[in-house]
Amino acid sequence: MENKKVLLGMSGGVDSSVSALLLKEKGYEVIGTTLELFAGSSCCNIETYIDAKNVCNQIGVPHFTYNYKEEFKKYVINDFIDCYSNCKTPNPCIECNKYMKFGAMWEKAKELGCNYIATGHYAKIVYSEKYQRWALAKSNAGKKDQSYVLWNIPKELVEHILFPLADFEEKEQIREIARKNNLKVANKPDSEDICFIPDGNYKKFLENNSDLKPKEGNIVNSKGEVLGKHKGLYYYTIGQRKGLGISNPVPLFVLGFNKARNEVIVGEEKALYTKEIRVKDINLILVDKIEDWIDVEVKTRYSSKAAKAKIIQENDEIKVIFDEPQRAITPGQSAVFYDGDLVLGGGKIL
């Protein structure tokens, strides 16, 4: 008999609450859990725990909280600080998914005798005949699809993951299910910011939690000519136009950094476009290795459109050549490779 026991990550929001309801309706034995990750964050505070526990009580499933603050600091906060210290722009949700939601939570699920873990992400798990394995795929949610932030989950875990919201196209459908079932979180707003920076001020967070402090330096063009002053390298990101404090006949954008000289390098918009990148820290879900050039679509940030490209693996890096130049590709962000709706894999942009 199939083990239909599932550990569901719950943030106290409407997505994970409705996920609990849908799983129970499908005959799964659901255990809800909220991970304690960072004190005062938007996804694990007293209100979060109470909302998640109340939903579980209402639909008749157990709920537990587990403390993973140390692990979260080690894998997510430290990476966030390290990226900004090295002039990169991180995506902490990707690290959290890898190490916490699909790392620590899966270990806890096995301890509890669960065969599955689930979350309220908008993504799909399907069996691919082409690749003869379970695959992560885009959900039906269009712009809200979250497959991009899930590329780093371990491939051996894919067949043990459930995404109950995979087939929904609109958030309003989820809220409607919550209303019909009298869930108090039906109209709870989404949290848009980085969970451990609820006020959105990442500079203040870095200054309070690391050695990073404002350190003035020069803003220069590609010839090295000084055009102005900056407040600290971590105040800027590639493609940024506002806040440079430079008057120039044509708009200038951040093109990159010279950490050794404490310089922000700026230039015209055309210099932001590039056809070729490399990625490291690869995770391939559909194949074990990319032996030859293959055609894929690549997303280089969550909100960007997928672009056609060719990729090949060279040792522990992947080389990406786009059909058309792409704008403001940013080291530290993720490049995610798609074969149609399937996530082939991804890596960190160098």
As annotated, the residues of the chain forming the CATH 2.40.30.10 domain(s) are 273-349
Domain 273-349 has CATH 1.10.10.60: no
Pick the catalytic residue: 43, 83, 87, 195?
A: 195
Residues 41-61, mean pLDDT to the nearest whole number: 89
HSE-CB of 48 using CA atoms within 13 angstroms? 24
Tokens of 174: 């989820």
- pLDDT of amino acid 274: 98
As annotated, the residues of the chain forming the CATH 2.30.30.280 domain(s) are 214-267
Say which CATH class 214-267 falls into: mainly beta
Query: pLDDT-based confidence at 334, cuts 50/70/90?
Result: very high
Q: With a cut of 90, say whether residue 43 has pLDDT above it.
A: no
The three-class DSSP label of residue 318 is: strand
Q: State pTM to two decimals.
A: 0.95
Q: How far apart are the C-alpha atoms of 79 and 42, rounded to whole Å?
A: 19
Kindly write down the DSSP assignment for every residue of 168-204, as one continuous string.
---HHHHHHHHHHTT-TTTTPPPP-S-TT-TT--HHH
- pLDDT of amino acid 267: 97
The predicted-structure confidence for 52-78, as pLDDT tens digits, reads as follows 999 999 999 999 999 999 999 999 999
CB contact at 8 A, 133 and 286: yes
Q: Phi and psi at residue 51, in whole multiples of 5°?
A: -60, -45
Pairing, β 294-299 against β 307-314: antiparallel
Q: With a cut of 90, say whether residue 44 has pLDDT above it.
A: no
Q: How far apart are the C-alpha atoms of 236 and 89, rounded to whole Å?
A: 9
CATH architecture of 5-120+164-180: 3-Layer(aba) Sandwich (3.40)
Residues 23-49, mean pLDDT to the nearest whole number: 90
Pick the catalytic residue: 44, 93, 96, 114?
A: 96
195 is catalytic: yes
As annotated, the residues of the chain forming the CATH 3.40.50.620 domain(s) are 5-120+164-180
96 is catalytic: yes
The three-class DSSP label of residue 16 is: helix
Q: How far apart are the C-alpha atoms of 19 and 122, rounded to whole Å?
A: 11
How big is the chain by its Cα radius of gyration, in Å?
22
Q: How far apart are the C-alpha atoms of 326 and 114, rounded to whole Å?
A: 43
Residue 65's H or E segment, with its range, is: strand 63-67
Tokens of 186: 């039906």
The predicted-structure confidence for 203-223, as pLDDT tens digits, reads as follows 999 999 999 999 999 999 999
